[in-house]
Amino acid sequence: MILGMSLPVFTAVHVLVSLAALAAGVPLIVGFLKSRDVKYVTVSFLTLTTATSVTGFLFPATQLLPSHITGIISLAVLALAGAALRVFHTRGAWRVAYVVCAVIAFYLNTFVAVVQAFLKVPGLHDLAPTGTEPPFLAVQVAVLLAFVAVGFVSVKRFHPALPSAA
């Protein structure tokens, strides 16, 4: 039992939260690219992505796994993104920190989704049963390059209007 749920139920909740975080990441990135501050999407993305990382630590494990390292990195960049947004209001270099951290958090969630897809989806698993085969590596490199490009363009384009001093 995890948080009062059986392992299969907890896994389903974790997967649903992860998918919701991924879904929230898309309009967030579109907002960056269009230089629009999408407040509700931002809150949803940061909250759901944090929940994804936190719940990932609740699965039974006897040793530190790559998924734990990914979760630690994700939580660190989410904390920095949250500080850049809420404490420093994306002013100056904090705008870049916010965008970069949000994009990294979205990338890490996507990275894990790709890993899980190759582990769980039969056709993909057949292409890369150990996760070291060229199809898996090609997809991960393509995803990484796409996020680097989107991150670069997002940093250049995202300049939200600062609240006026009243």
DSSP class of residue 30 equals H
What is the tens place of the pLDDT at every residue in 41-60?
999 999 999 999 999 999 99
Distances (CA, A) of 94 to 7, 98, 111, 136: 40, 6, 25, 35
**Least reliable range by pLDDT among 38-42, 72-76, 82-86, 120-124:** 38-42
Spatial separation of the C-alpha atoms in residues 147 and 110, rounded to whole Å? 10
Nearest to 31 by CA among 162, 148, 157: 157
CA distance 90 to 63: 38
pLDDT in tens, 99-146: 999 999 999 999 999 999 999 999 999 999 998 999 999 999 999 999
Identify the helix (H) or strand (E) that includes residue 17: helix 7-33
* pLDDT tier, 164 (very low <50, low <70, confident <90, very high otherwise): very low
